[in-house]
Amino acid sequence: MRPIDDSPLTRDGKVLILAYDHGLEHGPVDFEAVPESADPEHVFEVATHPAVTSLAVQKGVAEAYYPDYAEDVTLLAKLNGTSNLWMGEPDSAVNWSVEYADEIGADSIGFTLYGGSNHEIEMAEEFRDAHEAARERDMPVVMWSYPRGQGLKNDKKPGTIAYAARQALELGADVAKVKYPGSPEAMEEVVEMAGRTKVIMSGGSKTSDREFLETVKAAMDAGASGLAVGRNVFQRENPEAILDGLEEIIFEESSVETALAATEQ
């Protein structure tokens, strides 16, 4: 019932998701640094890098571009998402049925849960439906587990992130995407709380190569199973270079120095 191990979403049990739903979630502003990143073709090309185990996009981008890359890219259907034009308590529209995601060729699904939001219950029930529909199709389920909302004073506390990882386990996610909780010790706690659910850290805002790779290394050493990254790849002029570095750290268990050297080759 947990189809994660046989899925191309993993490589040797590790995961590197290239996330590209920023056009919906944040709008054009995220593409300003590297204008060609607005073009899905550019990002699908990047996703052909062997380090990328899946590309996460919304339905419209998948429909329009994935058929051209079906041989070279593994598709993760990001089912929900919403613009930030909208104000109010965190929530997210389910833009894509699992049935149609499967038809388009998605291998796995992704779903955001804003634990702590006044809409948590509704989102959890939408997650249930998506999860069970995915199970019928042997599609792994990745939860973007992001506590957020008026009930939360601080959504970056280690304890909150550990709780988020546990929610992912309890509700049935194969993979939990969480924020890095700030220290290796805190990440260990997060991983422990997730049990058999794999934990991957989210890339966050763009940082320097060294800083970014060091954080990923620390997460992996603390037991994480990989990374979901967007801006830290596509907001770089040379996204392939940073993917070379990430491949060293995530799949080769290399040091940060080795990974940095790989980015410069």
Q: 150 vs 183, which CB is nearer to a second copy?
A: 150
Minimum CB distance to a second copy, residue 259 (Å): 31
Distance of CA 54 to the CA centre of its chain: 9
Rounded distance between C-alpha atoms, residue 110 and residue 208, angstroms: 27
By CB under 8 A, the residues from 21 to 50 that bind a second copy are: 21, 23-24, 27-29, 31, 35, 38-40
By CB under 8 A, the residues from 129 to 148 that bind a second copy are: 131-132, 135, 147
The number of helix segments (H) and strand segments (E) in the chain equals 11, 10
Q: Which of 146, 163, 179, 180 is catalytic?
A: 146
192 binds a second copy (CB under 8 A): yes
58 binds a second copy (CB under 8 A): yes
Query: Is residue 209 within 8 Å of 242, Cβ to Cβ?
Result: yes
177 binds a second copy (CB under 8 A): no
Rounded distance between C-alpha atoms, residue 31 and residue 159, angstroms: 33
Q: 118 vs 258, which CB is nearer to a second copy?
A: 118
Part of the chain binding a second copy (CB under 8 A), chosen from 8-16, 45-53, 113-121, 209-217: 113-121
CA neighbor of 112 nearest in space, from 141, 135, 137, 134: 141
Query: Of 5, 6, 159, 264, which one interacts with a second copy (CB under 8 A)?
Result: 159
By CB under 8 A, the residues from 65 to 104 that bind a second copy are: 65, 67, 81-83, 85-88, 91-97, 99-100, 104
Active site residue 146: yes
Query: Is residue 36 within 8 Å of 235, Cβ to Cβ?
Result: no
* Local structure of 171: helix, strand or coil: helix
3 binds a second copy (CB under 8 A): no
Residue 111's identity, in one-letter code, is F
265 binds a second copy (CB under 8 A): no
Minimum CB distance to a second copy, residue 217 (Å): 24
Alpha helices in the chain (DSSP H): 22-25, 40-46, 59-69, 98-104, 120-136, 158-171, 184-194, 209-221, 231-234, 239-251, 256-263
Q: 29 vs 264, which CB is nearer to a second copy?
A: 29
Q: Which of 177, 198, 206, 217 is catalytic?
A: 177
The string over 6-16, giving b where at least 16 C-beta atoms fall within 10 Å of a residue's C-beta and e elsewhere, is ebebbbeebbb
Part of the chain binding a second copy (CB under 8 A), chosen from 8-16, 111-119, 177-185, 208-216: 111-119
Q: 199 vs 262, which CB is nearer to a second copy?
A: 199
Residue 93's identity, in one-letter code, is A
261 binds a second copy (CB under 8 A): no
**Cβ neighbours, 10 Å, residue 103:** 9
Contacts of 39 (CB under 8 A, 6+ apart): none
Q: 13 vs 27, which CB is nearer to a second copy?
A: 27
Minimum CB distance to a second copy, residue 208 (Å): 28
Q: Known catalytic residues?
A: 146, 177
